[in-house]
């Protein structure tokens, strides 16, 4: 720490200052103060205060007395505090974010003249906010929900807000339905229950009554609804936007960005437990990775359809409940998004950031997507009540390019604009509108015809084809998880009308799915369903995004020890994990010092009761007869092993710990372990009974061909989870 600002923050900030990425940093610096030991406590009006501890009172040393209202310092403190809260976002209230940069490596100037998407010499500063949709500001991170993934690009031509989600489609087609879908998903009106959950009558009642939601609820019930990390999610602009090129040609576009680390999810049981054990799991995960210098990255792309091809598809390309299948419209990746700096203050930088879909820059435009057009009205409007009409002046929201106009006044205006006129045209020609050559936003001259009517175009009426496409494209494991998700959600619906009808609705997607779910949750088992067209599409299953290269960077690995642990095995594992940029977390039976086999002391990061296996990606237990004996009689230690096995995590053990792991899992002849100096891998359990000098050397290759203990252990972690264990049904045979 230096001057109360963490070193990691300072380092990245200094590196960025010279670049275009640093433009936003320099801009924020105007309003940023550091707090230090040199400062003295003052009131908001600058007068130094002698105490922060005692209200002025009529009092004597041996007699308490009443507080005096005349104390301006005390009044300011209390009144200022009384008004600290602003309304939380009406949706997406729970979230966190980070700063970063956006860089184009392959210009898409055949589609747009927007420099942010074409200029390969630029770095555009960004701020990204991730969120859940339904929960209130204090709810848990890991609930089943859609995740918001909103990007503010501080471009040289003004701010561009791409307000996306981790799922490429939406529940409704027309923005007028937004209050209904959100009311139905939020806690029920009579008792404000449940918090941050779709598992209740009203949500599923809405879904049944809106066949247009069918595609989206399948995505929400899939693993996409429970991401392992915000750093491991895809992002989608969802709505159809347009791009305009220098020749004046317009293309329809969808934006998509894919994480370098691959798309990975939590196991549902893990997500449920984390909601209580570590409700801040996702925001801590992002903060930790950035602080450790493992910066999350996404490759950024577009799907593009020429204007002339708008009607060539059997779905309407302006319908936000539909994807553009990759085999018809492949994604062209051309840029990279990186997050590299944590915010310094949550409220001013994360809570006060305001995204508006209506903020686009020249070269990017809207389409007639009826959801997008409603959003363009809604965001700006809601910011006015959440932050006030001058919200664009807040440091985090203001653009890095010049802003000048005749918008004036309003609560908390703080820009002082000098001059005698505040209207256009004026006799001084002050602040005149810009020409196209000067970079003005010019609307595309789009032909419009139609009648005023409350109808949707015909292709908007087909609601099941892509829900079937999604289901057909899932891997067996993902299908299994979707069934389990319906099992949980519909079990929480107490009204038989709701779960009964939903089971019937599933038969519109797949009869087998409907029958399996009805068996789980009750309701009449459907005997007939809508014909499933049997088609599949690439890029819908998240198994298609394992990550660019196998890595364990940023993965948390617990090393479990008690007094007498094998010091050499511990040291090698700790060093190897650190070198691979993973996060080794030492978990003891207690947090006070634990003594190793050679008498050396280690201070664990946590103890077995305080921390849980849900918070790590893998566990390693070194041998040491005494340590293993202690762990073998510790119920919580055994639970850690069983739970990690149940959650499909890689488990590594050496020496005496091999038998401990084998016994704890208790699946004797099926899950096998090493009994020699050979490393053995069985269903993601990597063991080495006899540790010889040099047999635990660092991992070099992470691949199927891996031979050494560390290599096999690391390769297992890099695979995220051991699906083979679930496919064989082994995890469900262990109590955890």
Q: Which residues are annotated as a binding site for heme?
A: 379
Q: Which residues contact 145 (CB under 8 A, 6 or more apart)?
A: 132, 133, 134, 135, 196, 198, 220, 225
How far, in Å, CA of 688 to CA of 55, rounded? Answer: 66
132 touches ligand HEM (CB under 6 A):
no
Q: Write down the H helix ranges in 98-140.
A: 115-118
Q: Which of 99, 170, 206, 499 binds ligand HEM (CB under 6 A)?
A: 170
How far is C-alpha 299 from the chain's CA centre?
A: 16
- Do you know the residue count of the chain? 736
| Binding mask of the shown chain, residues 277 to 316, with x at each position contacting ligand HEM by CB under 6 A | ----------------------------------------
92 touches ligand HEM (CB under 6 A):
yes
Closest residue to ligand HEM in the complex (CB): 148
Joined together, the tokens standing for residue 694 give: 């040099």
Q: Which of 261, 320, 337, 685 binds ligand HEM (CB under 6 A)?
A: 320
250 touches ligand HEM (CB under 6 A):
no
Q: Which of 131, 173, 213, 572 binds ligand HEM (CB under 6 A)?
A: 131
How far, in Å, CA of 274 to CA of 658, rounded? Answer: 28
Give the shortest CB-167-to-ligand HEM separation in angstroms.
8
Q: Write down the H helix ranges in 119-213.
A: 178-185, 201-209
How far, in Å, CA of 199 to CA of 189, rounded? Answer: 15
Task: Report the residue number, 466 or 551, with the smaller CB distance to ligand HEM.
Answer: 466
Joined together, the tokens standing for residue 538 give: 């690439």
Task: Report the residue number, 169 or 619, with the smaller CB distance to ligand HEM.
Answer: 169
Does the bond joining 194 to the residue before it have cis omega, within 30 degrees of 0?
A: yes
Q: By CB under 6 A, how many residues form the interface with ligand HEM? A: 28
Give the shortest CB-210-to-ligand HEM separation in angstroms.
14
Q: Is there a contact between 736 and 646 (Cβ–Cβ < 8 Å)?
A: yes
Give the shortest CB-555-to-ligand HEM separation in angstroms.
26
Q: Which of 5, 56, 59, 90 binds ligand HEM (CB under 6 A)?
A: 90
Give the shortest CB-332-to-ligand HEM separation in angstroms.
21
341: β partners = 99
456 touches ligand HEM (CB under 6 A):
no
Give the shortest CB-231-to-ligand HEM separation in angstroms.
16
Give the shortest CB-369-to-ligand HEM separation in angstroms.
9
Q: Write down the H helix ranges in 292-421.
A: 346, 370-387
374 touches ligand HEM (CB under 6 A):
yes
Task: Report the residue number, 391 or 545, with the smaller CB distance to ligand HEM.
Answer: 391
Q: Which residues contact 305 (CB under 8 A, 6 or more apart)?
A: 251, 252, 253, 317, 324, 329
Q: Which residues does the annotation mark as catalytic?
A: 92, 165
Give the shortest CB-673-to-ligand HEM separation in angstroms.
46
Give the shortest CB-177-to-ligand HEM separation in angstroms.
8
Task: Report the residue number, 13 or 371, with the smaller CB distance to ligand HEM.
Answer: 371
How far, in Å, CA of 218 to CA of 465, rounded? Answer: 12
CB atoms within 10 A of CB 240: 25
Element spanning 126, H or E: strand 124-132
Stretch that binds ligand HEM, among 54-62, 83-91, 625-633, 723-731 (CB under 6 A): 83-91
Joined together, the tokens standing for residue 505 give: 């609705």
Q: Which of 98, 116, 150, 469 binds ligand HEM (CB under 6 A)?
A: 150
Stretch that binds ligand HEM, among 379-387, 495-503, 587-595, 628-636 (CB under 6 A): 379-387
Joined together, the tokens standing for residue 186 give: 């939020």
Q: Write down the H helix ranges in 331-464.
A: 346, 370-387
Task: Report the residue number, 145 or 489, with the smaller CB distance to ligand HEM.
Answer: 145
Tell me if residue 491 falls in helix, strand or coil. Answer: helix
Give the shortest CB-271-to-ligand HEM separation in angstroms.
20
Q: Which of 378, 518, 614, 630 binds ligand HEM (CB under 6 A)?
A: 378
Task: Report the residue number, 132 or 155, with the smaller CB distance to ligand HEM.
Answer: 132
How far, in Å, CA of 666 to CA of 663, rounded? Answer: 5
Residue located via tokens 């918001």: 148
Calculated CA dihedral for residues 103, 107, 109, 112, nearest 10 degrees? -30
Task: Report the residue number, 128 or 722, with the smaller CB distance to ligand HEM.
Answer: 128
Q: Is there a contact between 227 and 147 (Cβ–Cβ < 8 Å)?
A: yes
Q: Is there a contact between 257 and 539 (Cβ–Cβ < 8 Å)?
A: no
648 touches ligand HEM (CB under 6 A):
no
367 touches ligand HEM (CB under 6 A):
no
91 touches ligand HEM (CB under 6 A):
yes
CA distances from 697 to 554, 674, 712 (A): 20, 17, 12
**Which backbone phi and psi does 161 adopt, to 5 degrees?**
-105, 115
How far, in Å, CA of 518 to CA of 523, rounded? Answer: 6
Task: Report the residue number, 381 or 491, with the smaller CB distance to ligand HEM.
Answer: 381
- Our CA angle for 144, 148, 153, nearest 5°, is 165
Task: Report the residue number, 166 or 726, with the smaller CB distance to ligand HEM.
Answer: 166
Range 329-347 burial, b when 16+ CB lie within 10 A, else e: bebebbbbbbbbbbbeeee
- For the segment 258-277, give every residue that binds ligand HEM (CB under 6 A): none
Give the shortest CB-89-to-ligand HEM separation in angstroms.
4
| Binding mask of the shown chain, residues 203 to 242, with x at each position contacting ligand HEM by CB under 6 A | -----------------------------------xx---
Task: Report the residue number, 386 or 626, with the smaller CB distance to ligand HEM.
Answer: 386
379 touches ligand HEM (CB under 6 A):
yes
Joined together, the tokens standing for residue 487 give: 């099992």
CB atoms within 10 A of CB 187: 18
Q: Which of 20, 24, 89, 101 binds ligand HEM (CB under 6 A)?
A: 89
Task: Report the residue number, 375 or 649, with the smaller CB distance to ligand HEM.
Answer: 375
Nearest-CA neighbor of 650 among 567, 556, 541?
A: 556
Give the shortest CB-38-to-ligand HEM separation in angstroms.
36
Q: Which of 115, 135, 148, 343 binds ligand HEM (CB under 6 A)?
A: 148
Stretch that binds ligand HEM, among 164-172, 262-270, 489-497, 525-533 (CB under 6 A): 164-172
> Which residues contact ligand HEM (rule: CB under 6 A)?
89-92, 95, 129, 131, 148, 150, 163-165, 170, 175, 178, 238-239, 320, 354-355, 371, 374-375, 378-379, 382-383, 386
């Amino acid at each position: 720490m230096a001057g109360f600002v963490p070193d990691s923050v300072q380092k990245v900030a200094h590196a960025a200052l010279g670049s275009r990425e640093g433009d936003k940093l320099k801009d924020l610096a105007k309003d940023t103060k550091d707090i230090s030991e040199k400062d003295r406590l003052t009131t908001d009006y600058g007068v130094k205060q002698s105490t922060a501890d005692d209200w002025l009172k009529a009092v004597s040393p041996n007699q308490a007395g009443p507080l005096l209202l005349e104390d301006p310092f005390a009044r300011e403190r209390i009144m200022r505090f009384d008004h600290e809260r602003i309304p939380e976002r009406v949706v997406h209230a729970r979230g966190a974010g980070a700063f970063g940069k956006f860089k184009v490596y392959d210009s898409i100037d055949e589609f747009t003249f927007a420099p942010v998407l074409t200029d390969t010499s630029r770095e555009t500063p960004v701020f990204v906010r991730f969120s859940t949709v339904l929960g209130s500001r204090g709810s848990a991170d890991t609930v089943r929900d859609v995740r918001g993934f909103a990007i503010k690009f501080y471009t040289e031509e003004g701010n561009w807000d791409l307000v996306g989600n981790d799922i490429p489609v939406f529940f409704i087609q027309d923005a007028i339905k937004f209050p209904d879908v959100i009311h139905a998903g939020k806690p029920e009106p009579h008792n404000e229950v449940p918090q941050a959950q779709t598992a209740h009558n009203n949500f599923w009642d809405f879904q049944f009554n809106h066949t247009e939601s069918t595609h989206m609820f399948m995505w929400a019930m899939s693993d996409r609804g429970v991401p392992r990390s915000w750093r491991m999610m895809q992002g989608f602009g969802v709505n159809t936007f347009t791009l305009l090129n220098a020749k004046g040609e317009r293309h329809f576009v969808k934006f998509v960005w894919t994480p370098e680390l691959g798309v990975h999810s939590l196991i549902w049981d893990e997500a449920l437990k984390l909601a209580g054990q570590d409700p801040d799991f996702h925001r801590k995960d992002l903060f930790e990775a950035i602080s450790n210098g493992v910066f999350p990255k996404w490759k950024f792309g577009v799907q593009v359809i020429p204007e002339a091809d708008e009607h060539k598809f059997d779905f309407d390309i302006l319908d936000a409940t539909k994807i553009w299948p990759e085999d018809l419209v492949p994604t062209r990746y051309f840029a990279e998004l990186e997050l590299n700096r944590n915010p310094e203050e949550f409220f001013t930088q994360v809570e006060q950031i305001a995204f508006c879909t209506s903020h686009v820059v020249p070269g990017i435009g809207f389409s007639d997507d009826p959801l997008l057009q409603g959003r363009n009205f809604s965001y700006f409007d809601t910011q006015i009540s959440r932050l006030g009409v001058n919200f664009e002046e807040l440091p985090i929201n203001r653009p890095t390019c010049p802003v000048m106009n005749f918008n004036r006044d309003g609560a908390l205006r703080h820009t002082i604009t000098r001059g005698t006129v505040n209207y256009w045209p004026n006799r001084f020609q002050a602040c005149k509108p810009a020409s196209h050559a000067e970079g003005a936003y010019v609307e595309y001259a789009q032909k419009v015809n139609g009648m005023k009517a409350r109808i949707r175009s015909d292709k908007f009426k087909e609601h099941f084809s892509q829900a079937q496409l999604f289901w057909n494209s899932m891997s067996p494991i993902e299908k299994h998880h979707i069934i389990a998700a319906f099992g949980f959600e519909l079990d929480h619906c107490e009204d038989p009308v709701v779960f009964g009808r939903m089971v019937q609705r599933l038969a519109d997607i797949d009869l087998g799915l409907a029958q399996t779910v009805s068996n789980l949750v009750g309701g009449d088992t459907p005997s007939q369903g809508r014909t499933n067209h049997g088609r599949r599409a690439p890029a819908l299953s998240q198994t298609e995004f394992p990550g660019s290269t196998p890595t364990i960077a940023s993965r948390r690995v617990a090393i479990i020890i008690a007094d007498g642990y094998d010091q050499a095995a511990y040291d090698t594992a700790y060093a190897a994990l650190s070198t691979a940029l993973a996060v080794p977390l030492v978990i003891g039976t207690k947090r006070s010092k634990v003594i190793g086999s050679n008498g050396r002391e280690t201070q664990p990061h946590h103890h077995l009761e305080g921390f849980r296996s849900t918070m790590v990606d893998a566990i390693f237990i070194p041998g040491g007869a005494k340590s293993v004996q202690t762990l073998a009689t510790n119920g919580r230690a055994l639970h850690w092993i069983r739970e990690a096995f149940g959650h499909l995590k890689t488990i590594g053990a050496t020496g005496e710990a091999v038998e401990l792991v084998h016994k704890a899992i208790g699946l004797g002849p099926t899950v096998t372990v090493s009994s020699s100096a050979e490393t053995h891998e069985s269903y993601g359990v990597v063991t080495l009974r006899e540790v010889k000098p040099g047999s635990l050397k660092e991992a070099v290759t992470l691949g199927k061909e891996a031979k050494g203990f560390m290599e096999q252990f690391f390769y297992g972690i890099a695979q995220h989870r051991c699906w083979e264990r679930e496919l064989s049904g082994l995890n469900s045979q262990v109590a955890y």
